A and B are shown apart, each in its own frame.
Chain A
Amino acid sequence: MTFTDYLLDFVFSAIPAVVFAMIFSTPVKYLPYVALGGSVAHIVRTVCINDFNIGIVGASFIASITISLMFIYLSPKLKAPRPVFTVASIVPIIPGKYAYLTLLSIIKMQDATEKKSSAY
């Protein structure tokens, strides 16, 4: 990935984090920090996957650790509980497709089992 790709990644991954924080009425003065957290999380995961060839699980783990350490340092200075920042910041790295796919696959597997048994 080029520098421009990383820059676009940095900008576009801040927006979902900020909007997710706004859904839960996060005060406006904390939104820039949430944006920074979302961008850092996604960039760290992207760098781990593309440049260091770490799998998605390991890359997400490293990104989560980075965000946690960042806000363990920042949240006492901002005088706000840490989950206000960290939960919204890791939203860009949530692979939501796999969560839904897991449940859909379980249901399809159950459906396939029932069809097989009804064939007898």
Chain B
Amino acid sequence: MKNSEFAELIAYIAKRMYMCGAETRLIVQTSERVAKAYGHQASVVVTPGFIGVSLKCPASGGNDSEPAGECSSFAKIEHGGLNMHNLVTYTRLCREAEHGLLTQDELKQKLGEIRSFPYNPFLMIVLIGVATASFSVINGGDIPASLTGLFAGSITMAAKILMQRYHLFDMFIFTTCGFVGTISSYWIGTEIFDLSRYNLAVAMVVSLLLLVPGFPFINGVLDLFKGYIAMGTVRLIHTLILISSVSLGIILAFSILPINGW
């Protein structure tokens, strides 16, 4: 493989790891270690807009013989869905490359063969409902509150999956889910189960807890404390925007409902 193609491959690995939800230090370290495994010295820079890779390449022989030199590559960051299965696969392939089990061409081929592994959406809707009910139990709610959380959580997740299928704007999805979750939990809690004030509050809160953006928030804090201030700040602002979107949906719901808050 030519040095310029290898630089593009390193940039591709870093970009895909970013899209899967890896923290910046993991991206930088993994990319640089893969480059080192093939005899190159890489400097990887992750910015909010793109990833830059600068390679110091040794002289190579064979059909693709090249003198020693430097080359660089950039990869524009695209925002994709977080996917831990892909992240695990990328790190496993990088580890195999580091141990000398893959050539550069084999690594590129295997990276191109990786496919997403989403769980069945209907299974997720049911499990989200069960998780919401469990949240209600551990937050002190009774059985009717947990059942309210189960149904409201399922409805909220179904709305989220439906809107994500149409690739709608993230903030719009979270605002709508906040609205739908609050309205549905209030309606189910008062009309069907006739919950007390405390249990209604628990049910209304837990139906939205799975909208909390955990990965961007934690990755943002990790980046801040590990020296990647710019990336950490961007991730935390993104988290703040998502939480604000959910809060906006909740406020819109409270403006319609006959209650003022939890």
Q: Is the interface of B mostly helix, strand, loop or mixed?
A: helix
Question: Could you tell me the distance in whole angstroms from the C-beta of B80 to the nearest C-beta in chain A?
Answer: 12
Quick check: is B22 within 8 A (CB to CB) of the other chain? yes
| Min distance, Cβ A17 to any Cβ of chain B, angstroms | 9
Q: Specify the chain A residue showing the minimal Cβ separation from B222.
A: A83
How far is it, in angstroms, between the C-alpha of A119 and the C-alpha of B221 when the chains are bound?
A: 42
Cβ 8 A contact of A103, one of B87, B92, B130, B247: B247
Q: Are B119 and A22 in contact (CB under 8 A)?
A: yes
A83/B21 contact (C-beta < 8 A), A25-B118, A104-B247, A104-B251 known: yes
Number of interface residues of B (CB under 8 A): 46
Q: Which 6 A-B pairs have the closest CB atoms?
A: A19-B131, A103-B247, A15-B134, A96-B209, A26-B84, A16-B131
User: In the complex, what residue of chain A is closest to B128 when comparing beta carbons?
Assistant: A19
Q: Is B77 an interface residue (CB 8 A)?
A: no
Q: Kindly state the separation between the CA atoms of A94 and B82 in the bound complex, as whole angstroms.
A: 20
A25-B119, A83-B218, A100-B208 known; A92-B84 Cβ under 8 A: no
Q: Are A81 and B138 in contact (CB under 8 A)?
A: no
Q: Could you tell me the distance in whole angstroms from the C-beta of A95 to the nearest C-beta in chain B?
A: 9
Chain A interface residue number, banded: 35 or more
Asked, given contacts A26-B84, A103-B244, whether A79 binds B210 with beta carbons under 8 Å apart, the answer is: no
Distance of A102 from chain B, by nearest CB (Å): 9
Chain A residues contacting B23 (CB-CB under 8 Å) are 83
Query: Residues of B with Cβ closer than 8 Å to A?
Result: 21-23, 26, 82-88, 91-92, 95, 116-119, 124, 127-128, 130-132, 134-135, 137-138, 205, 208-210, 212, 214-215, 218-219, 222, 243-244, 246-247, 250-251, 261-262
> How close is A109's CB to chain B, nearest CB, in angstroms?
13
Taking a contact as CB atoms under 8 Å apart, the answer to whether A94 and B251 are in contact is: no
Q: Which of A's residues lie within 8 Å of B, judged by CB? A: 8-9, 12-13, 15-16, 18-27, 30, 42, 79-81, 83-84, 86-88, 90-92, 94, 96-97, 99-101, 103-104, 107
Rounded to whole angstroms, the CA-CA distance of A21 and B21 in the bound complex is: 13
B210 touches A27 (CB 8 A): no
Note all chain B residues with C-beta closer than 8 A to A19: 124, 127-128, 130-131, 210
Nearest chain B CB to A15's CB is how many angstroms away? 4
Contact A96/B130 with A81-B26, A81-B91, A107-B251 known, Cβ cut-off 8 Å: no
CB-based contact A15/B131 at 8 Å: yes
Complex CA gap A30/B243 in Å reads 28
* Pair A91/B214 contact, Cβ less than 8 Å: yes
Q: Look across to chain B and name the residue whose beta carbon is closest to the beta carbon of A88.
A: B214
State whether A12 touches B134 (Cβ < 8 A). Answer: yes
